[in-house]
Amino acid sequence: MLGLPEECYAKLEEIRIRSAKPLQLRIGEKDYGLNLRGKLIENLNDSYMITADDIYRILASISDNSLYAFEEEIRRGFITIPGGHRVGLAGQVILHGNDIKTIKEFSGICFRVAREVKNCAQALLPQICTGYKGTAVNTLIISPPRCGKTTVLRDLARLLSLGDKLVGAQNVVIVDERSEIAGCYQGIPQLDIGPRTDVLDSCPKAIGMMMAVRSLSPQVIITDEIGSREDLQAVNDCVNAGVAVITSIHANNLNEVKKRPLLSELLNTGVFKTVAVLSRRNGPGSVEEVIRFEP
């Protein structure tokens, strides 16, 4: 697509396109530009300069010349394209009361590359499953941004859905509010989430968790980035209904989480039996610490 060396595609994380700014590619831990000859360069000042026309041509391409058809996704600030890749949008936000109506006068686009890392969560399975033919326990994954928590959640869904000699195959529901875990395009998951996994795509977490309990008979619910009181109440309701919850929160460690009143309150109830802390020390998804809370 960009004419990059094959090894660069394997590490490509983001493509940032900003009006009147240089084209920027995030590859591994570094930012690069691309010159007019299509050569990867380290000096962004020499990178191709994006124009307003570039932005609108790109938007026309990814929307098949029908931005109106993506009105709801634009209102949420991103479009998901085939392959599960997410296209974030920047521009003038139009409000209707306190709600976002749409975005127009687009000034920036951020392509975030969806990438599977199969078996990256394999080492966590013994920590979050118990008993004969282990079933999942309530688990909180703590991770700073860009440390692979969504990738780990996706692989946990796949592994739990598949099962193996030690872990029983389980019915999983992913409540995917931002279409990141399963990477749904037109409602169809673009990434491997396992054979026994259902997805509630673009569904608010608190609403989706209760919908899943009522209608999809899950053994495990997986969702991303809880934080509101409604989210925390839904986690409690799922647990009280006998459904395991695996979810995540942005933080560097457990102590930071405990400083947030709502999350500290939830932790004190003993809902979560396992807490895993991630980092990028050995690449995204590195497990720094696993804490088990015995009953």
CA–CA distance, 165 with 184 (Å, rounded to integer): 30
Mean pLDDT of the chain: 91
Residue 1 has a pLDDT of 54
Mean pLDDT of 171-194: 94
- Higher confidence at residue 81 or residue 130? 81
Q: pLDDT of 5-48, one tens digit each?
A: 677 778 899 999 999 999 999 998 899 999 988 889 999 999 99
Domain ranges of the chain: 6-112, 122-292
pLDDT of residue 197: 98
List Cα–Cα distances, 182 to 82, 189, 194, 231, in angstroms: 12, 5, 10, 20
Q: pTM for the whole thing? A: 0.87
Q: What mean pLDDT comes out for the span 52-71?
A: 91
pLDDT band, residue 222 (cuts 50/70/90): very high
pLDDT of the residue at 134: 82
Of 270, 269, 235, nearest in space to 249 by CA: 235
CATH number among 3.30.1360.40, 3.20.20.140, 3.40.50.300, 3.20.130.10, domain 122-292: 3.40.50.300
Reading the block at residue 202, the tokens are 């673009």
Mean pLDDT of 120-126: 90
Q: What is the CATH number of domain 6-112?
A: 3.30.450
The answer for residues whose C-beta is within 8 angstroms of residue 33's C-beta and 6 or more apart is: 22, 23, 24, 25, 40, 41, 42, 43, 44, 45, 46, 47, 48
Q: What is the pLDDT of residue 29?
A: 84
Is the pLDDT reported for residue 295 higher than 70?
no
Q: What pLDDT digit, counting tens, does each position of 238-267 carry?
A: 999 999 999 999 999 999 999 988 888 888
pLDDT, residue 64, reads 87
122-292 matches 6-112 in CATH topology: no
Average pLDDT over residues 55-81: 90
pLDDT score at 286: 87
Residue 284 has pLDDT above 80, yes or no: no
Residue 210: per-residue pLDDT:
96
Q: How far apart are the C-alpha atoms of 164 and 185, rounded to whole Å?
A: 29
For residues 15 and 32, give the distance between their C-alpha atoms in angstroms, rounded to a whole number: 10
Digit-coded pLDDT (tens) for 131-147: 766 889 999 999 998 88
Confidence of residue 60 (pLDDT cuts 50, 70, 90): very high
